[in-house]
Chain A
Amino acid sequence: MRLRPYLRALQVQTQSTLRYRGNVLAFLSYVLIPPLAVFFLWRAVLGGGRTLGGYDLSAMVTYYIVAQFFVANAPLSAWSEISEEIRDGRLSLWLVRPVDHFLLYLSRNLGAWIPYWIMGLLGAAAVAGILHSHFRLPAEAWRGPVALGFWLVGVVLAFAWGYTLNLLAFWTERTAGIVGAADAAAVFLAGGFVPLDILPLREVWLFLPFRFVGWFPAQVFLGRVSPERLPGELGLLLGWLFLFVAGAKLIWRLGLRNYQGAGL
Chain B
Amino acid sequence: MEQVAVCVEDLGVTYRRTVSGAGLGGLLRRRRQLVPALKGISFRVEQGEILGYIGPNGAGKTTTLKVLAGALRPQRGKVRVLGYVPWRRERGFLRGISFVMSGRGLLEEITWDLPVLDGFALVKDLYGLSGREFRRNLDELIDLFGLRDILGVPLRQLSHGQRARVELAAALLWRPRLLLLDEPTLGLDILSQAALREYVREYVRRTGAACIVTSHYMRDIEDLAQRALLLDRGEIVAEGSPGELARRFSGARVLRVVFEREVPGDELRRLGELEEFNGNEAVILVPAAKTKEAAQTLLECFPVHDLTIEEPDLEEALRSYFREAG
Contact = CB atoms under 8 A, between A and B. Distances in A.
A51 interface: no
Contacts of A229: none
A5 B125 contact: yes
Interface string B48-71: 000000000000001000100111
A95 B70 contact: yes
B97 A9 contact: no
B95 A96 contact: no
Interface string A9-21: 1001101100110
Contacts, number: 80
B209 to A, nearest CB: 16
Nearest to B99: A96
B15 interface: yes
A12 B118 contact: yes
B104 A264 contact: yes
A256 B15 CA distance: 14
Given A8-B125, A260-B15, A92 B71 contact: yes
A93 B118 contact: no
Interface stretch (B20-28, B106-114, B226-234, B282-290): B106-114
Given A98-B127, A99-B126, A260-B16, A12 B111 contact: yes
Interface string A60-98: 000000000000000000000000000000111101111
A97 B123 CA distance: 10
Interface in A131-173: none
A21 to B, nearest CB: 12
Contacts of B118: 12, 15
A2 interface: yes
A55 interface: no
Interface residues of B, number: 34
Nearest to B121: A8
A9 B15 contact: no
Contacts of B109: 90, 93
Contact of A9 (B72, B101, B114, B122): B122
A4 B129 CA distance: 11
Nearest to B115: A15
Interface in B82-132: 89, 91, 94-95, 97, 99, 101-106, 109-114, 118, 121-122, 125-128
Contact of B97 (A91, A93, A96, A108): A96
A256 B88 CA distance: 11
A259 B101 CA distance: 17
Contacts of B99: 92, 96
B114 A16 contact: yes
A20 B114 CA distance: 11
Closest 6 A/B residue pairs (Cβ): A8-B125, A98-B94, A92-B71, A95-B71, A4-B125, A19-B113
21 contacts: A4-B125, A5-B125, A7-B125, A8-B121, A8-B126, A9-B110, A12-B110, A12-B114, A12-B122, A16-B112, A16-B113, A19-B114, A90-B109, A92-B72, A92-B99, A93-B106, A93-B109, A95-B69, A97-B94, A261-B72, A262-B15
Interface of B: 15-16, 62, 66, 69-73, 89, 91, 94-95, 97, 99, 101-106, 109-114, 118, 121-122, 125-128
Interface of A: 2, 4-5, 7-9, 12-13, 15-16, 19-20, 90-93, 95-99, 108, 256-257, 259-262, 264
Given A12-B111, A96-B70, 18 more contacts: A2-B128, A8-B125, A12-B110, A12-B114, A12-B122, A15-B113, A92-B71, A93-B105, A96-B94, A96-B97, A97-B106, A97-B126, A98-B94, A257-B73, A259-B71, A259-B72, A264-B101, A264-B104
